[in-house]
C-alpha cells in the first residue's frame, strides 16, 4: 500500500514540477516543455527513488 501511494504522489509531483509528456504539455500551452515517454519515466523513477529513501 505504501509503495502504491508513494508512486501516485511522485507521479503527481513530477507533473506539477513541469515534467510531462507531449500530450499533457499541449494541454498546458504551446510553450510548455515536454519529455519523451522514456524521459518522463526516468524522471518519475528519480522522484520515486528519493521518496523511498527518505
Domain boundaries, the chain: 2-53
Query: Kindly report the CA angle at 44 between 12 and 4, in degrees rounded to 5?
Result: 65
Model pTM above 0.75 = yes
pLDDT at 39: 98
Q: What pLDDT score was predicted for residue 54?
A: 77
Q: Can you give the pLDDT of all 54 residues of the chain as single tens digits?
A: 999 999 999 999 999 999 999 999 999 999 999 999 999 999 999 999 999 997
- Model pLDDT, residue 5: 97
Amino acid at each position: 500500500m505504501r509503495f502504491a501511494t508513494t508512486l501516485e504522489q511522485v507521479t503527481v509531483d513530477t507533473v506539477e514540477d513541469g515534467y510531462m509528456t507531449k500530450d499533457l504539455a499541449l494541454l498546458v500551452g504551446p510553450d510548455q516543455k515536454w519529455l519523451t515517454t522514456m524521459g518522463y519515466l526516468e524522471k518519475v523513477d528519480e522522484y520515486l527513488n528519493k521518496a523511498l529513501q527518505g
